Every structure is written in structure tokens, then in C-alpha cells.
Amino acid sequence: MITLSDITELLGWASIINICALILAAFFLTVMRGTIIAIHSKMFGLSDNDLLLIYVKYMANYKTLIFVFMLSPYLALKVMGH
């Protein structure tokens, strides 16, 4: 049977993994912007400005989902003492 302590640990590790993925995506979008834009513009036929807007929306949505579904429940369980 899964306990609240197990769920707390799961949410903690899931938060760490997702935050690392977010940082890695931000790093690659910063360092390799030209290459990534060139590949995606050829694949999808979008302009550079459209792709930059899509990247920013992606990062913002991903960050929001991490905070809502991973980090907030983890912190709530930690405050409760689990």
C-alpha cells in the first residue's frame, strides 16, 4: 500500500526531474537557438519570430505545470509533516 510519505518522495523526485528538464530545455534554447530555429522552421514552415513565441509559451506553460502539479503538492505534504 502506498503511503503519504511515498507520495511525498515521489512528488519530490518528480519535481527535481522536471525542473532539471526545464533548465536543460532553457539551456539548449539559449545556446543552440539558431540551430533549433533552423530545424523547426524547415520542419513546420514557421517564421523565426513565431518559433520564438512558441518556445517562450512552451517554457512558461511547462513551468506553470511543474509548480501546480508537482511542487505545490510536494510542499503541501512537507508542511503537513509527511
pLDDT digits (tens, 9 = 90+) for 20-58: 999 999 999 999 999 999 999 999 999 999 999 999 999
* pTM of the predicted protein model: 0.89
Alpha-carbon distance 8 to 74, whole Å?
6
Task: Please state, in angstroms and as integers, the Cα–Cα distance from residue 36 to each residue in 32, 72, 78, following that order.
Answer: 6, 32, 39
Is residue 82 scored above 80 in pLDDT? no
Find out whether 52 and 37 touch, Cβ atoms under 8 Å. yes
Q: Among positive and negative, which fits the CA dihedral 32, 36, 39, 42?
A: negative
DSSP one-letter code for 47: -
